[in-house]
Structure 1
Amino acid sequence: MTGATTARGRIDKRQAILDVAFTVFARRGYDKTCVQEIADEAGVAKPTVYNHLTDKQTLFQHAVLAAADAVAAETLAIAERLRDPGEELRTTLTEVATELLAACASERARALRALTYAQLAAFPELTEEVLDRTSRRIAEAMADRLARLALSGKLRVSDPALAAEQFLALLTGPLEARSRLGTRAVPATECCGIADAAVDTFLSAFGAR
């Protein structure tokens, strides 16, 4: 039991370091961040950080991927609501769209995009991994949900992957424009407007008749 508790404690401490590291990297950028600052904010000794993550580069990569997984988990949970949307598909789809926009417009999601693209030249493989874990995963999940809705007769979708891509584009395109490529927060009222317009356009094309 003691061994399991020790292992759990080590995992928790590692996650706490990653959370703090992501916050510091987001605030200061990769180049200006030092490991000592992360250790100080995490409340641990600098060698402890190196015991969990071997160097600054490794720390950065793992911190970014941990944030990507957290964002992905949130968006996938939202998409799951479409597994059983009830009788009012438009209502549920609008709620899902609004919640997806809120997740994508969150401080963590905006920081993730900013950090990833700022370090694209230095960490090209990291950028691909972040995309795999976030936008591509949610696109796959949405495609699965739309396929199920098509089978039940609630949508007219012949290519679920393409339909999911188009639905997400109707959300993320306006969001990126209004957030000035993620440099400003988008008010909830604007997210609601984007969601309503996206669902109207999507159902005009794919809604059951």
Structure 2
Amino acid sequence: MYNHLTDKETLFRHAMEAAADAVMAENLAVVERLREPWDDLRAALEDMAYRMLQVCCGERSRALRRLTYAQAADFPDLIEIVQGRTAIRPGEAPADRPGDPARAAEQLLALLTGPMEVRSRPGTRKVSAAETRTVARSAVDTFLRAYEAAATEPPDPRAGGPVAAARRRCRLS
């Protein structure tokens, strides 16, 4: 094996990339379900969000995050590699309807993973299915409210997009 991978560092990188690819494949399989026709957008997004959280909170994803954080000083490029394979690409897929799909997907992913990171105490606490469903439901609710509110206002080129406008409204209320 070392003949092909040359050293321990290369072996470690390949193992991390393979784990990240596996997580990405799981996430993409979840997101792919949104491509099917659905009558209830909220229910479809909540289902996708819950299933994605199951992947993100699964043992493989937690171990991948722990190893990435632990080795960041020695392998700083691993953060970009792992995030690029587990967060960014799968995150772009569910949001092909809003005006800026990549931004919308990134924001939905943040609404999902931020609260789960707090609840799981960076992967050291198991989060119940009920609590995970609550996070998924709340994230989708916030996401849809932001985009519904933004859709009722005329676009302002200085505003920075619909979510920036929604944030400003929240600060003003």
TM bucket by the smaller chain? 0.7 to 0.9
Cα deviation code 1:147-206 (max 9, x no counterpart) = 2xx3xxxxxx32222221211111001000001122222221111110111111112222
User: 2:100 maps to what in 1?
Assistant: 159
Q: Give 2:73's aligned amino acid.
A: A
User: 1:32 maps to what in 2?
Assistant: none
Count of aligned pairs: 150
User: 1:136 maps to what in 2?
Assistant: 88
User: 2:142 maps to what in 1?
Assistant: 201
Structure 1: distance between partners of 2:19 and 2:86: 10
User: 2:171 maps to what in 1?
Assistant: none
User: 2:123 maps to what in 1?
Assistant: 182
Q: Give 2:126's aligned amino acid.
A: A
TM-score between the two structures when normalised by the length of structure 2: 0.80
Structure 1: distance between partners of 2:82 and 2:49: 21
Does the 8 Å CA contact 1:85/1:92 hold for their aligned counterparts? no
User: 1:78 maps to what in 2?
Assistant: 30
1:55 and 2:7 matched: yes
User: 1:118 maps to what in 2?
Assistant: 70
Decide which structure has the larger Cα Rg and report it: 1
| Unaligned runs of at least 5 residues, structure 2 | 153-173
Q: Give 1:60's aligned amino acid.
A: F
Q: Give 1:139's aligned amino acid.
A: G
Q: Percent identity?
A: 59
Structure 1: distance between partners of 2:126 and 2:15: 22
Give the superposed CA RMSD: 1.7
Structure 2: distance between partners of 1:177 and 1:200: 19
The Cα of 1:85 is off from its aligned counterpart by 4.1
Cα deviation code 1:77-115 (max 9, x no counterpart) = 111111124111111111100000000000000000000
TM-score between the two structures when normalised by the length of structure 1: 0.67
Cα deviation code 1:118-163 (max 9, x no counterpart) = 1111011222111111111112223xxx22xx3xxxxxx3222222
